[in-house]
Structure 1
Amino acid sequence: MKYDALLALMEPILAHPTTITALHNEARSCLIAGDSNKSKLLEQLIKIFHNSYVPATVQIGAGTTFAYGGIGTILHAQAKIGRNCSIGSNVTVGGGQGIHSITKLSVPKIEDNVYIATGAKIFGPVLIGKFSIIGANAVVTKDVPPFTIVGGNPAKELKKITRENYPKYKSFIGRNIEYTEEIFTQR
């Protein structure tokens, strides 16, 4: 067969495929430990295996996942992503002009338990509040309050997530946590 030698070379990797988060965590650990060469090589593996750009400098919280292997994901080097987020394929989180008054960043900050659907674009100094849902192909250039569903281009509020309708959206924004009333009162 034409690709036998390549398959043999790739066998250890194919036998133990890894996720963007695993590669990113290793790259970030290397960067923090001062091994920037190894960190850059791991970043390259993310590009090769997942067709994505996720630099080691990005802060990604525990439990965050990339749907469909994160194909086509682009994250700005200074982006901050919270815990238990779900990021779809072809998502871009990019910089912009200005500085956010709360985050003091010129790039998006995404709080915990946010669901970002396929194709969404989030640009500039914006804060995406906890337990929010960004709809497919939405273009977000303004803050999204906590417990809010947005969609469209430009993104507009479509619905609020309340105590009453939370069970409907739990599989998107609460998949790794136990429901308690405190999630609606914590900031």
Structure 2
Amino acid sequence: MGNVRFIRLAEVVNKKQDKRVVSVTVVPTITDCSGTIYFTDLQLQEGPALTGYAPHTEICLKESENAPVWFNGIVRSEETVILLNLGGTSAGLDINLYPKQYMEGGSVTLAQGVGGQKATFPNAMNAGDNVALLASKRECTRNGAKETKEGFYQYSAAWDSKHIVSLPQGKSAQLLYSMQEMDDGGELL
């Protein structure tokens, strides 16, 4: 992951009146910078003392000694795919989806377990496209160009994890799942 650093920022929201806060809008603004910035673990808490702490996952994970693994298959309409993750903890999934027919925008979804962590693709897909949802790079592409997705990157839970692939009725796609299994990296602090 290169030169990743976790920087914690905190801000106090003061109320003008003695009433409850109904909503808070956070607008991250970056100027005069280059590179990639990820905003994670936004936490709002009541009271004057800062209590929560969420370290960057890089310090508590390490790659498993197992080589990267690949799972390849064909899905028709809706299927549940079960992947074996022999690592000691969850691992990000890279998924390449190759539609066999034209599929309308919003008709293809990927999800975890019983439907959580869902990812939907709002643009139509053509037969032979390579739609890549890559957790390892935090990017979604179609035929190598940036592609819009709605929802979450996918991951594989330790041991076995269920993945729901939903396509339009009567349509099919080839899927390639790949992951580097992960293990616990030692002490958190």
Give the TM interval when normalised to the shorter protein.
under 0.3
Q: Which has the higher helix share?
A: 1
Higher RCO by CA contacts (8 Å cutoff, separation 6 or greater): 2
TM-score calculated relative to the size of structure 1: 0.22
Q: Which has the higher strand share?
A: 2
